[in-house]
Amino acid sequence: MMPLVKSSPTREGKARASPQPPPEHEKPLPTMERERPGTSGTEALLVLNTRRASDRFREAQEAERTYRAKKRTAVARANLNEAKAGYREAFESLRAALRLSLTVARMSPYILTEKNGERQVKSDDKKRRAAEERSKKLEEALVRERRATSEGGSEEHDADADYADADDTPVRPRSNIKTVPTGR
């Protein structure tokens, strides 16, 4: 703020304040009024302000770029550390998996032997059941045939009865009974 001081009137102010014409014997002095400069002062001020604003804007952009770079660097650094930790864990897991795979490779003959034994047991069970089914069907067919022949009273019945032993030896197959070949 400007101090409030009474200003004394200036010469120009007096000359302006007194509208009396100069005496005739005196020659009029050239007017000392300064002409107001055109727009050069205002223009210079505007150009200066524009330059300052442009410089401030450039500085603000640079500060913004720096800020963004710092933020992104911090995020990238955190991601890098997390990735390193993940790779470290993955490498340890891979090493453990390879170690276990090598032990499995060394023990593979035992695994294969066990699997082959299981397959053999399954195969033997299947063959035994098939043989039991065949003998059951043959016995049923023999029983039916004996019933059919016992009703007729044929002599062949006696020959078949002599051929069959008590220790379950197979009975001689008839022509109408088909035998199933074994897998051996």
Q: Domain limits of the chain?
A: 42-163
Contact 160, 171 (CB under 8 A): yes
* Predicted local confidence at residue 44, as pLDDT: 83
Instruction: Note the pLDDT tens digit of each residue in 20-73.
Output: 766 677 766 666 666 665 566 788 888 899 999 999 999 999 999 999 999 999
* Predicted local confidence at residue 136, as pLDDT: 93
46, 49, 54, 55 alpha-carbon torsion, rounded to 10°: 150
Q: Which residue has the tokens 């500060």?
A: 63
Nearest to 150, CA basis, from 139, 161, 136:
161
* Predicted local confidence at residue 178, as pLDDT: 59
Rounded Cα distance, 112 and 58, in Å: 76
Rounded Cα distance, 71 and 22, in Å: 78
* Predicted local confidence at residue 9, as pLDDT: 52
Name the pTM for this structure. 0.35
Q: What size, in residues, is the chain?
A: 184
Positions of the chain with pLDDT lower than 50, given as ranges: 1, 15, 157
* Predicted local confidence at residue 116, as pLDDT: 93
